[in-house]
Structure 1
């Protein structure tokens, strides 16, 4: 029986399908919108200017990851595709990214590097766009090919270490401005307002030694980190300094530093502040503000910009607000909201008119009254650790003694917020309370909290979930006899662990793209890296000692499964191999435990295709309602 809301529940595909609006980007003058979404049922990239369609092109099932403008007459779109690789690679397939240049003046759209025979037709890092000498220029990592030495005419793979290229976006003509690193090294760059490399970070992946050089090749910072946790962040507010981040292994904190590009002593940047994200001026690569992880709104360094951002937030009280884009003069903003009564909406904010106009909704088939109430629940783990989670309730139904689904996030280094989640809302619409715990290891607090999950797969990270369930039972929200667990990626691992490593808690488990065997994950990720020592150190730090992998691998505990299990996995998954699910299914079959395996053809780790997303949700709903009916 569906949830007893004021209106009938929307069809399941209203949740599982790709949203009507996937991405938006605002033109620099504030007059144009580039939109990836559906128009009359067809998925398109549409450019609207002054309320008229300037350009439109069909997308089919292309996987679009990001959208941006380069001046007023070109849009760039980041896309990806799963590619099978040859025998010279350490893995059989990978997700390859590319950038399409879409001119709005009638020119032909094409992939960056498409005209260059000596470069692979993919991008390996996007370092922004700049207006250089009157020309819009994009900066991308590119892999150089070598002349074939096997009696063939043409080019062939040499190595996969990218160099930095400046690409004239009008002609798609690349020019190398930064050299590829040597063997066993990787390299990242920052590009200044003049289109020149202002800084380069080079890491020796065998020793962990790292060094940052300025544009003149002089070292301005260096150190050693066996896990390679060093990042270039942005240029300083004046463009004369560099901000970078490293991990302090003693305090378990992420620390940010600012150092002069000309050389000199580094000083700590924003000490004591844990950052969720930063805001960068896209015209010059300089930092302009940040979003604190502790909650609250964006903090801008310029007082006038801060006052402007506050006005934007005030326009959307009580909603989860994401400022997605803005014009360089801070006169126009593109804002996305979601939360109670809002299944995902986009707005154009014109501060000159002090007006916020609707730019579209993501799921028009879901009315405001059909959005399940969303709240945050605080609780404590058995060892006293303070935790929280997001609770989504069935619309129009009392929060008493409800069937419940524990829904841990993936990552595991991620977190859930009190915003609209299509998967959680789908189950809430059918009568279930859905709880998304931010267990230890999540990124909603400081770095120490995130690192407290290291080595806790199947241990405290797992009991944090059941402790959250116990809190909902204590509050009277959840019926302990009607609980299931589901999740994807790490969340899929946790779902499997919830009915194998733990017992007596859940009536069923749904695991999408799950890890089932930590030893196999460790071995294959090591192999894919070419047995890189840095990758090995990162894996051991996160997963724990290999000696303990079997004890926390659901595949090894399949004979202890005490509830039916549904496995769902994409064949094109390059993050968690499809064989993690087939191995788990095999172990369950040998143990004569009830289970199903649903294969998503041509699907990746992120459920990028609409048809297979809907297939996943339909299979999960069928399974849960069969084994844990809402009424």
Structure 2
């Protein structure tokens, strides 16, 4: 592997990329964008680079249809193909969602879709492979997420279904069985698709094994029983990740810690004789193993904190990551894909003060670059909200990190505020572009997104601080942020609204119920408002011994559920309330919103419920997001005007 071209790569990439993206103006030079600009699906869903680094595939929409574009980097030509549901219809499958694209070979693009069926709690995958020379699709059921391998002098697709590990040749359309085990679970393969390790699980006895290649056969190097451990087998069993650092060992994750939030990740290396290393030292939060694109070996860790951070152990890949960040100073940079035949050719995703997300091709060997496209091409740079991290201390002395978005073209002084708590609640916000926060900021509001206690990304001790604190300290963590901004003169404490979805919807209604002096109005989106009803339904649906039921029991930690339920305390609410909920929500029942509405109406309180027809919990339909956003803006302009 040759070193990067130090003379041309960095300088050319920096000047070209920044020049292409432009700079925001100090004052508005364009009209304020319509809310539909933010509610639309991102213009680019996914993008990938061919193994030889000569072509780029882009999945986008054209006239409302999913379209696959193929760009030839050598001459700038492009072709596009409509992505259909022919496979789903032929196999009598339900509606599918596109999950990813990748190059199956230098002449074939794979479109990976998934679906759920019946009462299944996991996803099945189906893959459509486009032959660029013939212009035809070949489709097959891949069971799990497929990957590309190289067999001799050609590329094939590796996939596992029904305990069978197989390879699919995109050129011939033929599949070859590689390995079979009745209880097969995870597989680790070489770059050529040869299995070197696999795990098996007897789902009746919950006996688990890890097997590694031993000559022409297999040797069991680990056994364990995971019956009802942590009340959830799927979360308890070890998972195989990839080849080890030298190519003959493997990397696995053992869930011996209380939670993946811990600094000790449980990621270890297992030798062919079964010897396990000490857990790898983790240098941040939310660690994920990195895999070398050529060798399929362990190559370091990435960390999901304020933004993704790379810590490659491979010197060449570390150099790529370093130069990618140097090429875009003061921007958030993510490596999307590398050309495995020449990893100097990469696709970068970039966010920053002058872009809400854009994709670039960069050749760090020659300094060549090309802008692939932006996520929100209709959003002018001067209407992208400034988003920064801020910290404050709660009344009981806990440090909280939060993200503050400021309205474009307005002085950061005496602003109206919207508190926007995330869902989960064991989740987190970061510095990345947030369509809802930015849309509201363009209406003149400051937006505060706190990672309150119970949020992920700060260690399991921080998560546990949220146990038993629904409607209590998890709530005052939000209002302490309001007081922090008020003390700095950034916001007007008399003009504060609270808006959230899922758990954030609960927090919005709990805010006006339990801290009525802080908020002028509240908007709850697909929220949980009646906790006794939630727990009763969970017990009926999944059982009191299920992981989900026990998880909520742990998080609620013996709380008086009636006392912390907004629907049971509607008489305390004096502020206007807007509720929005999808009729097809399978995560939070629509009845949660009707219960909240009925309670407020019975108490004679102002409330409006908007029914989002055909919408799921994740607001996946852009027409629904548009309707939601317009309703929220109209409500805010009436009850908490900017």
Q: TM-score range by the shorter chain?
A: 0.7 to 0.9
Gaps of 5+ in 2: 1-25, 86-94
Q: Give the secondary structure class of the aligned counterpart of 2:105.
A: coil
Q: C-alpha displacement at 1:349, in angstroms?
A: 1.0
- The 8 Å contact of residues 212 and 222 in structure 1, kept in 2 or not, is answered as no
Q: Give the secondary structure class of the aligned counterpart of 1:551.
A: coil
- The 8 Å contact of residues 502 and 525 in structure 2, kept in 1 or not, is answered as yes
Match of 2:310 in 1: 298
TM-score of the two chains, using structure 2 as the length reference: 0.83
Match of 1:193 in 2: 191
Match of 1:601 in 2: 613
Match of 1:263 in 2: 274
User: Residues 274 and 214 from structure 1, CA distance in 2 versus in 1: closer, same or farther, beyond 3 angstroms?
Assistant: farther
Q: Give the secondary structure class of the aligned counterpart of 1:552.
A: coil
Match of 2:14 in 1: none
Match of 1:146 in 2: none
Q: 1:104 aligns with which of 119, 125, 132?
A: 132
Q: C-alpha displacement at 1:211, in angstroms?
A: 4.8
Q: C-alpha displacement at 1:379, in angstroms?
A: 0.7
User: Residues 62 and 163 from structure 1, CA distance in 2 versus in 1: closer, same or farther, beyond 3 angstroms?
Assistant: closer
- The 8 Å contact of residues 129 and 139 in structure 2, kept in 1 or not, is answered as yes
Q: C-alpha displacement at 1:472, in angstroms?
A: 0.9
Does 2:472 match 1:438? no
Match of 2:68 in 1: 45
Q: 1:67 aligns with which of 101, 120, 124?
A: 101
- The 8 Å contact of residues 48 and 57 in structure 2, kept in 1 or not, is answered as yes
CA deviation string 1:155-187 (max 9, x = no partner): xxxxxxx53542415326474845465xxxx94
Q: C-alpha displacement at 1:41, in angstroms?
A: 7.1
Q: C-alpha displacement at 1:529, in angstroms?
A: 4.5
Match of 1:218 in 2: 220
Q: Distance in 2 between matches of 1:13 and 1:342?
A: 18
Superposition pairs for residues 413-492 of structure 1, below 5 Å? Answer: 413-492=426-505
Match of 1:119 in 2: none
Q: 1:621 aligns with which of 614, 624, 633?
A: 633
Q: C-alpha displacement at 1:111, in angstroms?
A: 4.2
Q: Give the secondary structure class of the aligned counterpart of 2:551.
A: helix
Q: 2:523 aligns with which of 470, 493, 510?
A: 510
Gaps of 5+ in 1: 114-122, 143-161
Q: 2:32 aligns with which of 3, 6, 9?
A: 9
- The 8 Å contact of residues 454 and 542 in structure 1, kept in 2 or not, is answered as yes
Superposition pairs for residues 106-505 of structure 1, below 5 Å? Answer: 106=134, 108-113=136-141, 125-126=144-145, 128-132=147-151, 136-140=155-159, 142=161, 163-170=163-170, 171=173, 173=175, 175=177, 177-179=179-181, 181=183, 187-201=185-199, 211-214=209-212, 216=218, 218-220=220-222, 222=224, 225-226=229-230, 227=232, 228-229=235-236, 230-239=238-247, 240-249=249-258, 253=263, 254-271=265-282, 273-282=284-293, 285-293=296-304, 297-328=309-340, 329-505=342-518
Q: Distance in 1 between matches of 2:516 and 2:608?
A: 19
Match of 1:56 in 2: 81
CA deviation string 1:320-354 (max 9, x = no partner): 11111111231111111112121211111111222
Q: Distance in 2 between matches of 1:172 and 1:473?
A: 65
Q: C-alpha displacement at 1:435, in angstroms?
A: 0.8
User: Residues 76 and 353 from structure 1, CA distance in 2 versus in 1: closer, same or farther, beyond 3 angstroms?
Assistant: same
Q: Distance in 1 between matches of 2:54 and 2:525?
A: 41
Q: Distance in 2 between matches of 1:576 and 1:139?
A: 36
Q: Give the secondary structure class of the aligned counterpart of 1:112.
A: strand
Q: Distance in 2 between matches of 1:542 and 1:208?
A: 27
CA deviation string 1:446-479 (max 9, x = no partner): 3433443344333322221111111111111111
User: Residues 402 and 629 from structure 1, CA distance in 2 versus in 1: closer, same or farther, beyond 3 angstroms?
Assistant: same
Q: C-alpha displacement at 1:9, in angstroms?
A: 0.9
- The 8 Å contact of residues 90 and 527 in structure 1, kept in 2 or not, is answered as no
Q: Distance in 2 between matches of 1:48 and 1:505?
A: 53
Q: Distance in 2 between matches of 1:542 and 1:127?
A: 35
- The 8 Å contact of residues 102 and 111 in structure 2, kept in 1 or not, is answered as yes
User: Residues 455 and 246 from structure 1, CA distance in 2 versus in 1: closer, same or farther, beyond 3 angstroms?
Assistant: farther
**Greater mean deviation of Cα atoms: 605-614 or 583-592:** 583-592
Q: Distance in 1 between matches of 2:543 and 2:295?
A: 36
Match of 1:118 in 2: none
Q: C-alpha displacement at 1:63, in angstroms?
A: 3.7
**Greater mean deviation of Cα atoms: 379-388 or 424-433:** 379-388
Q: Give the secondary structure class of the aligned counterpart of 1:268.
A: coil
User: Residues 173 and 293 from structure 1, CA distance in 2 versus in 1: closer, same or farther, beyond 3 angstroms?
Assistant: closer
Q: Distance in 2 between matches of 1:587 and 1:205?
A: 45
